[in-house]
Structure 1
Amino acid sequence: MRTLMTALLLSAGSLQAAPIAMEDQSQLTVPDGQAAAHFAPPAESDLPDNAFGEMVRQGHALFVDTRRLMPEAVGNGMNCSSCHLDQGRMAHSAPLWGAYPMYPAYRKKNDKVNTYAERIQGCFQFSMNGRPPAADSPQMTALSVYSYWLATGTRTAIETPGRGYPEVPQPAGGYDFARGQQVYREQCAICHGDQGEGQKVADDYVMPPLWGADSYNWGAGMHRINTAASFIKYNMPLGKPGSLSDQQAWDVAAWINRHERPQDPRLVEGSIEKTRLKFHANDGVNLYGQKVEGVVLGQGTGR
C-alpha cells in the first residue's frame, strides 16, 4: 500500500518520489534470518472488496499519513509509521500484529487496564504530542480495524515473536554522549538532520525529527534511552538493521535523548522534579529532570 502523500508526490515528479517512499519503509526487506522466524501479516491482495476492506484501507491511510490526515490530533512531525516501520508490519519494530492481540492489558504507565483504543490514544498523547481522538471516533475505529486485520492468524494473549523492540542490555561501561554524537553524525544525520530536525519535502516530513518541538515529547516511551537503543539496534540505520553494536546503539540513543523536546503532558504542578519523581524515577533509563552539562533536562520546547 502507498500513502496518499506518496501517490500525490509521485505525480509531481520522480525526484520527490524517492524520499517520500521512505516514510512507510515498504521497500525494505526483512533482515537475513528473520523471515521464517516471525509472523507474516496478510497482504493487501487478501483484502475483501467490501465495507471491511474499505475500513482497513482507511486505517492504513491514517497510520502512514497521520499528521496530514489528522492534524487536530497530531502536535508534532510524527506519523504512526515513524516508530512502527513498514506500515506497522515489520518485526522488532512494535508491529501492529504483535500489539493488537495483547489487549486489554494492564499498563504501569497509567496504572490501569488499557483497551487497545486507549493504547493508541497514548501514542497520540506522547509519541505524537497531540490530542487523542475519542475511543469511538471514526479514526480510532479505522486504526483498530487495520490493526485487527494485520493480526489475522495470531492468537490472543500470547506474545508473537517479533513483537515490540527486543531488549538490548546496557553495556557494562554505560553510555557516552561524545561517542553517541559521532555515531549520529556518521549514521543518522543524513536522514534526520545535523540538529535532529528531520527531513521535509514541502511541509511534509519524510524523515521524523528526533528532538526539538516537532519530535516525541518527554512522556513518550522513546525518551527512555534503553527503549530508543533497542529500536535503533534492530531497525536503524534505515535498511541496515543490526549493523550497530549494542554500545553504539546505547551511545547514540543517549545522545538523541539528551536534547530537549516537548514537555511531558503529565507535568505535575509545573514542577520538573515532581514529574520526575512520579513518572520518570522508575521508568527505565532516562534523562528527564537530570542535569546535563549544567542544564536540567525536561523544560520542554516551545514553538
Structure 2
Amino acid sequence: MKTTLSACLLGAPAVLAFTAGSVHCAETPGHAQPASKAAEPAPSKPASGGKPAAFTPPSADSIPNDEFGKMVKQGEQIFVNTQQNARQYVGNSLNCANCHLDAGRKADASPMWAAYISYPAYRSKNKHVNTFAERLQGCFRFSMNGKAPPLGDTTLVALESYAYWMATGAPVGTKLAGRGYPAVPKPPLPADYARGEKVYAQHCALCHGADGQGQASGSATVFPPLWGPKSFNWGAGMHDIKNAAGFIKANMPLGMGGTLTDQEAWDVATFMDSHERPQDPRFTGSVQETRKKYHDDPTSMYGMTVNGHVLGSK
C-alpha cells in the first residue's frame, strides 16, 4: 500500500487496484502500456491432492497479427484504458485494470484467463446461469457504475476476445490456481473501523488521499477513488468486506502482497466499505428491503449504520 509516486509510475505495467490499502499505479495518462511479457502458455498441470491446476497465460507479444488479433488488442486497450475506450458504458472514474491487475494477467487478482474458462456458470447474485458476456455486462453495471453494453456490442466482443486469447491452453471447467481473490480467514478480533482507519492513514492515504477520493492527472485517474460518487457502487463485489480483504491481502502493498496480517486486511477493508458510494442499481426504493434482498450477509455494510449514517441511504 505504501510507496512513492515515482515507484508507482515506473514500476507498474498497468493501472492497478482500487481497493483500500492499495497503491494504484497507472501508465502515463493517454499512454497504454502493453501487458507484461510472459512465457508462452504453459501446459496446465493436472490438479493433484485437490490442489487447483497451475497455468501461465501467453505472452503479450504473441497476440496474432490478423483480424482476430486486432480484436484481441482492442480488448486489451479497453481493459487497460476503459475511460478512453468505453466511456459510454462507464459511470465512474475506474478502469477494468483497477481490479484485475497487470492488464488482467496477475494471479490472485481475478485474472481474466481464469475467469473465461469458468463460464457459463450459475451465479447466486442473479440466480441463473450466466454466460461470460453477461458476466462482463455485470462488471460495467456494478464495478464501473455504468450501463451494460448490449450483447454483440464491439466492446463486449473485444473484451471476450482478449480473455479468450489469454486463456489459450487453459483447461475448460477446471479451477485454476490464482482464480479470483484468495479467501482470508477471519482474524482473531472482529474487524474494526477504528483500527482500519489507522491502517488506511499509514499505508493508503498517500495515494488515495485522506478522503479516499484518489488522485488524477488532468482527466486521467492515477489513483482511483475508494468510495464516493466516482467509485464502484453498492452492487459491486468489492463492497463486500471479505472480497476486499482477499484482494488487499494478496496484492497490497504494491509488489508486497501477503505482508499485511489477516487482521489488518479485514480492518482496512471494513474501513473502506463503511463509506458511502453510488446506490445499488437494483435498489427497490427501501434500503432495508434492498439489503434483505441483495445484501443479507454479515460482511456487507449496505444498510448498516456507521457514525450515525445509514449506508446506502444517500
- How does the TM-score come out when normalised to structure 1? 0.87
What is aligned with 2:48?
Answer: none
2:266 pairs with one of 220, 235, 250: 250
Q: Read off the aligned partner of 2:128 and give its amino acid letter.
A: K
**1:121 paired to 2:113:** no
Which one has a larger percent helix, Structure 1 or Structure 2?
Answer: 1
The structure 2 residue matched to 1:23, chosen from 15, 28, 34, is 15
Distance 1:90 1:253 in 2: 21
Please state how far the C-alpha of 1:19 moved relative to its aligned partner: 8.9
Deviation at 1:45, TM superposition (A): 2.1
- Identify if the C-alpha distance between structure 1 residues 28 and 204 changes in structure 2 by more than 3 Å, giving closer, same or farther: farther
Please list every run of at least 4 consecutive aligned residues from structure 1 whose deviation after the TM superposition is greater than 2 angstroms. Answer: 16-22, 24-29
Q: SS of the residue aligned with 2:88?
A: coil
**Would the aligned equivalents of 1:22 and 1:206 in 2 still touch at CA under 8 Å?**
no
CA RMSD of aligned residues (A): 2.2
CA 1:20–1:197: 2 relative to 1, 3 Å: farther
Residue 280 of structure 2: aligned partner: 264
Distance 1:170-1:20 versus aligned 2 partners, 3 A rule? closer
Q: Please report how far the alpha carbon of residue 189 of structure 1 lies from its aligned counterpart in structure 2 after TM superposition.
A: 1.3
Q: Kindly indicate whether residue 181 of structure 2 is the aligned counterpart of residue 165 of structure 1.
A: yes
Amino acid at match of 1:279: Y
- Establish whether residue 288 from structure 1 lines up as the match of residue 302 from structure 2: yes
Contact 1:22/1:207 (8 A) holds in 2? no
Query: Counterpart of 2:265 in 1: which secondary structure?
Result: helix
Runs of 5+ unmatched residues, structure 1? 1-13, 30-35
Match of 1:199 in 2: 215
Q: Say whether the 8 Å CA contact 1:38–1:91 is kept in structure 2.
A: no
8 A contact 2:14–2:103 mirrored in 1:
no
- Deviation string 1:158-181 (CA, Å, 9 cap, x unpaired) is 111110101002113211111101
CA distance in 2, matches of 1:113, 1:232: 29
Alignment match of 1:57 (pick from 53, 64, 73): 73
Query: What secondary structure sits across from 1:205 in the alignment?
Result: strand
Identity among equivalent pairs (%): 50
Unaligned runs of 5+ in 2: 1-5, 17-24, 26-34, 39-44, 46-52
Do 2:13 and 2:102's aligned partners in 1 also have CA atoms closer than 8 Å? no
Structure 2 residue matching 1:78: 3-state secondary structure: coil
The structure-2 alpha-carbon separation of the partners of 1:215 and 1:27, relative to structure 1 and needing over 3 Å to count, comes to: same
Aligned length: 279
- Name 2:19's counterpart in structure 1: none
For residue 102 of structure 1, give the secondary structure of its aligned residue in structure 2: coil
Question: What CA distance in whole angstroms lies between the structure 1 residues aligned with 2:233 and 2:248?
Answer: 18
Instruction: Work out whether residues 67 and 78 of structure 1, in 8 Å CA contact, stay in contact via their aligned partners in 2.
Output: yes
> Within 2, Cα distance between the matches of 1:172 and 1:110?
33
Code of the aligned partner of 1:126: F
On the 8 A contact 1:218/1:261 being kept in 2, the answer is yes
SS in 2 for 1:239: coil
How far residue 192 of structure 1 moved from its aligned partner, in angstroms, is: 1.5
Q: Are the aligned partners of 1:28 and 1:86 in contact in 2 as well (CA < 8 Å)?
A: no
Q: In the alignment, what sits opposite 2:229?
A: 213
For 1:161, give the aligned amino acid.
A
Aligned counterpart, 2:29: none
Deviation at 1:92, TM superposition (A): 0.2
1:151 Cα shift? Answer: 0.5
